[in-house]
Amino acid sequence: MLLMPRRVKYRKLQKGNKRGLATTGYTLAFGEFGLKTMENGWIKNSQIEAVRVVLARQLHKGGKLWIRIFSDKSITKKPAEVRMGKGKGDLDHWVAVVKRGKILFELGGIPEEYARQCFRLAAYKLPLRTKFITRTHK
């Protein structure tokens, strides 16, 4: 169940930029605990799926998981040993563009220590540095 759009207006996109801070999705919206990224980059749909599988196995039907990112950017790649030119390569995979400060995943309905342990396992599957955050109760 890899994340990718059902249909897109344009199959092949330009690279875009990865600089800057997250302007949306930087606060907890659903759960009590979150995994926040500390650097900019791309997260592949296969990496998002790997984290989903790890967290789903850890939760054992207790607690709830929210995935706050979606891979909607297509990345193309040319085959190995192909000469320069002849147009843009074929679609290879999908990525989610994440900026520093974006909440990637949220958990709710479990103790804090267990959430910390779950997100530690999840962070191993991601290519970016992340940070565990909690909702501040007032």
Instruction: For Cα atoms 92, 95, 99, give the angle at the middle one, nearest 5 degrees.
Output: 150
Residue 137: predicted pLDDT: 57
CATH 3.40.718.10 at 33-78+99-134, yes or no = no
Q: Cα(20)–Cα(18) distance, rounded to whole angstroms? A: 7
- The structural domains of the chain, with segments of one domain joined by +, span 33-78+99-134
Per-residue model confidence as pLDDT tens for the chain (138 residues): 788 999 999 999 999 999 999 999 999 999 999 999 999 999 999 999 999 999 999 998 889 999 999 999 999 999 999 999 999 999 999 999 999 999 999 999 999 999 999 999 999 999 999 999 998 754
Distance CA 102, CA 37 (A): 6
- pLDDT, residue 138, reads 41
Give the pLDDT score at 2: 83
